[in-house]
Structure 1
Amino acid sequence: MSRAKDLVLPSMNLIIMKSSPILRQLRMEEKLLRSTSENWCIINDGTSDPTIVMGVSGKVQELVNVESVMGDGIPVIRRFSGGGTVIVDGGTVFVSLICNKGAVPGLQPYPRSIMDWTGELYGRVFGGFGDFHLRENDYAFGSRKFGGNAQSITKDRWIHHTSFLWDYDVKNMGYLKQPTRAPKYRLERHHMEFLCRMKDYFPCRSTFIERTIAALSSHFSVTLIENKTIIDPSNTKHATSTKLLTKQELEATLSSLHENPTVQQVLL
């Protein structure tokens, strides 16, 4: 009887979306992290429009080419979790894991421990489809990054979310500045030398999604939840810290850069 108990897996709710706006996704994740006690996996296959997403402490003037972003009307979001800055679009596949601290036996609720566990999880997903590595806080094939991660840890729960570059538009990468803080393995490479596309290593997006669900099923009893049954993330009691930067905020940043051209040169 005790042996049967050991085989009982914790439950995980699975939400699969297609081209949902990344702002809606992030607000949904923040609500599920802070307002529920269940384990969740959210998969969003692409997002509707090119959008820049920064970590909670990211500085626009250091990370974004503000003038070109404003000129082309690219939205900029500050999410509730840490991590770096990415530009996402229809070529990005998002996978987010929201878990209770005791959901994975032996997993310590610390960033490195969570990162190592997800690295093993995705190692099974990508097994046989490229030279997969967890490099510092990134997922990479060889020495080129294709998955960027961010985390947030609360008292009883944690979230680990990833933007996977199935494909990307070279032009969009020009909206991002070369970060002043970067992983050592980047070796000061520019975006095009540092990044790679999943589609060059993996057969199709649906196969990736199927293998991700299969890998999760070795740790959780996964139940698909209809997206329409999830309460609107805007209707929530907790204070959301995920926000779309206003035109006024971007204009203020641009003005400060113009007033301090020497600072702008250093950042560029």
Structure 2
Amino acid sequence: MAASQARNAGLPIINFLRLKGVSILQQLHLEERLLRTSSENWCIINDETTRPTIVMGVSGKPKELLETDAVLRDEIPVIRRFTGGGTVIVDQGTIFVSFICNKDAIPGLQSYPRPIMSWSSLIYKNMFQGIGEFGLRENDYVLGNRKFGGNAQSITKNRNHVEFICRLKEFMSRSDFINGTTDAVAAYFALRSPDADDIQNHSSQFEPSSKLLTRQELGDEASIDLVGTVSQAL
């Protein structure tokens, strides 16, 4: 304990929350509430979500980004999150790592996408030593020449999907990734385990804006009587 306290001396405190199988909509609601109502630093790791779900950025337009006929036919939930960025599909194989930090938690860090991505890449750089050639390319995390996380945008022509995307399970187990991320975060923060009251205190103070889109919002105006079918599925 003494050695741990000495190692963490001077580091900013972060509430470290590990979740298992929480739906991505619940996670987004929690993140937004903490962002808007808490003055503390938070790191949330959620190991998988409940079912395959499409998540769009705050300004995403379904008709431009989705094959809406197939989405409606297969009753795939579509969420518009409160943050920007691209459109992704998440499922039981996805691991989510989220940071909610005060500006002064990382001295000298500018509040712009590129500096933030550069800082977050440091979290993973040491973790992947000896496992793969980790790097930050544009706004994506890559191993070698293939992306495994980061910004959901990718501009490319005439390339098979598997040529620029890789799966982390090719390099490590889920538990190794989560434990490695935990150790990496501990190099920059003093980890604190929040209790139920810490979470409950922020549960009703803010109405989150991340939402499940209805069939009408997805462009199926001819089936207004079926609005809510997707939301029931989550």
Within-5 A mapping of 1:3-82: 7-82=9-84
The TM-score normalised by the length of structure 1 is 0.75
Distance 1:200 1:23, change over 3 A: same
Q: Which residue pairs with 2:217 in the alignment? A: 249
Count residues in correspondence: 217
2-structure distance, mates of 1:223, 1:58: 35
* Structure 1 consecutive aligned stretches of length 4 or more whose deviation exceeds 6 Å: none
Partner of 1:118, secondary structure, is: helix
Q: Which residue pairs with 1:200 in the alignment? A: 170
2:36 alignment partner AA: R
Pair 1:211 & 2:176 matched? no
Question: C-alpha offsets along residues 162-213 of structure 1, whole Å, 9 cap, x if unaligned?
Answer: xxxxxxxxxxxxxxxxxxxx445x45534333211100011x1111111111
1-structure distance, mates of 2:188, 2:101: 12
2-structure distance, mates of 1:254, 1:111: 40
Pairwise CA distance, 1:129: 1.3
Q: Which residue pairs with 1:225 in the alignment? A: 194
Pairwise CA distance, 1:251: 3.6
Question: C-alpha offsets along residues 109-166 of structure 1, whole Å, 9 cap, x if unaligned?
Answer: 111111110112111222221111111111111121111348xxxxxxxxxxxxxxxx
1-structure distance, mates of 2:84, 2:96: 16
Q: Where do 5+ consecutive residues of structure 1 fail to align?
A: 151-181, 256-268
Distance 1:145 1:254, change over 3 A: farther
Decide whether the 8 Å contact of 1:54 with 1:78 is kept in 2: yes
Question: C-alpha offsets along residues 75-130 of structure 1, whole Å, 9 cap, x if unaligned?
Answer: 00000111111000000000000000000112111111111101121112222211
Q: Which residue pairs with 1:265 in the alignment? A: none
2:216 alignment partner AA: Q
The TM-score normalised by the length of structure 2 is 0.85
Q: CA RMSD in A?
A: 2.3
1-structure distance, mates of 2:222, 2:129: 45
1-structure distance, mates of 2:201, 2:165: 35
2-structure distance, mates of 1:206, 1:199: 10
1-structure distance, mates of 2:182, 2:131: 17
Decide whether the 8 Å contact of 1:27 with 1:233 is kept in 2: no
Q: Where do 5+ consecutive residues of structure 2 fail to align?
A: 1-5, 224-234
Bigger CA drift: 119-128 or 16-25?
Answer: 119-128
Partner of 1:146, secondary structure, is: strand
Q: Which residue pairs with 1:89 in the alignment? A: 91
Decide whether the 8 Å contact of 1:24 with 1:233 is kept in 2: no
Pairwise CA distance, 1:61: 1.3
Q: Which residue pairs with 2:208 in the alignment? A: 240
2-structure distance, mates of 1:227, 1:44: 16
2-structure distance, mates of 1:45, 1:87: 15
% identity of equivalent residues: 54
Distance 1:233 1:148, change over 3 A: farther
Decide whether the 8 Å contact of 1:42 with 1:96 is kept in 2: yes
